[in-house]
Amino acid sequence: MRWRNFLQVIDKAKVACERSGHRVRDHFVELDKMVPLGPGAMRSVADYRLSRYACYLIVQNGDPSKTVIANGQTYFALQTRRQELGDEKAFAGMSEDQRRLMLRGELTHHTKALGAAARVAGVTTAMDYAVVQDHGYRGLYGGLSAKDIHIRKRLKKSQKILDHMGSTELAANLFRATQTEEKLRRDGVAGKQRANQTHLDVGTKVRETIQELGGTMPEALPTPETSIQQLERAQRKLPQ
């Protein structure tokens, strides 16, 4: 692969990094290195120091007909599956409270990533993003808005919906968030209305999948007696 072609792949990977809500300079560090031209002659050329995440983005944006790219894609696919198997085993051994804490943390991360994807689509204000989020809830909860869910759970105005969900409900919302983020980026969704519709469609599809599997609809799941904040405080009190 010629250097100029590789630079094009790096540029694509940088765009993917930025659109995923990560700082490019944290993962792609530009530097100069000296290379020999001949007897006693040296020249400065551009080079990069890459993080593991940057390497992943590069191989995902590279040409798989190139052996090095194909090997890289295979490596990351195997590592991802290995991590998934480890996560599944660990998750199975967790208590309900531990599962809630873990899933809530994942939702916090992916909600930020969803927000970054929405901004790329043209959702620029906090109010507009709240509307996008509401469409996702309406899809997943059979037409119920965030306000409706809040009332249904009998929460105070200051309390957050996601902090008062069991692991099954949190998992459904995590799937909604991750799939919406991916679809916004993959389809190049542009405009607030299309972003709203995309989140509504994904939420509806997740709901249909739960129904097809014979699961309990999210709005019918019980609200835990303890909030995520209470679980976190209790965990901090445990001996280290």
pLDDT digits (tens, 9 = 90+) for 38-67: 777 777 777 888 888 888 888 888 777 777
Average pLDDT, rounded, for the chain: 86
Query: pTM for this one?
Result: 0.66
pLDDT, residue 161, reads 96
Which helix or strand (DSSP H or E) is residue 32 part of?
strand 28-38
Asked whether residue 180 carries a pLDDT value surpassing 70, the answer given is yes
> Is there a contact between 208 and 138 (Cβ–Cβ < 8 Å)?
no
How distant is the alpha carbon of residue 81 from its chain centre?
A: 17
C-alpha dist (Å) from residue 235 to 9, 12, 188, 229, 238? 44, 42, 41, 10, 5
pLDDT, residue 164, reads 97
More confident site: 107 or 2? 107
pLDDT, residue 136, reads 97
pLDDT, residue 87, reads 66
pLDDT, residue 199, reads 97
Average pLDDT value for residue range 210-232: 93
Question: Cα dihedral sign for 103, 108, 114, 118?
Answer: positive
Q: In terms of residues, how long is the chain?
A: 240
pLDDT, residue 45, reads 74
For residue 50, list its beta bridge partners: 28
Which residues are CB-neighbours of 206 under 8 A, at least 6 positions away? 139, 140, 172, 175, 176, 179
pLDDT, residue 62, reads 79
Which residues are CB-neighbours of 36 under 8 A, at least 6 positions away? 42
Write the single-letter amino acid at 98: Q
Q: What is the DSSP letter of 45?
A: E
pLDDT, residue 3, reads 63
- Minimum mean pLDDT among 2-6, 105-109, 224-228: which range? 2-6
Q: Model confidence at 235, in pLDDT bands (50, 70, 90)? A: confident
> Is there a contact between 63 and 71 (Cβ–Cβ < 8 Å)?
no
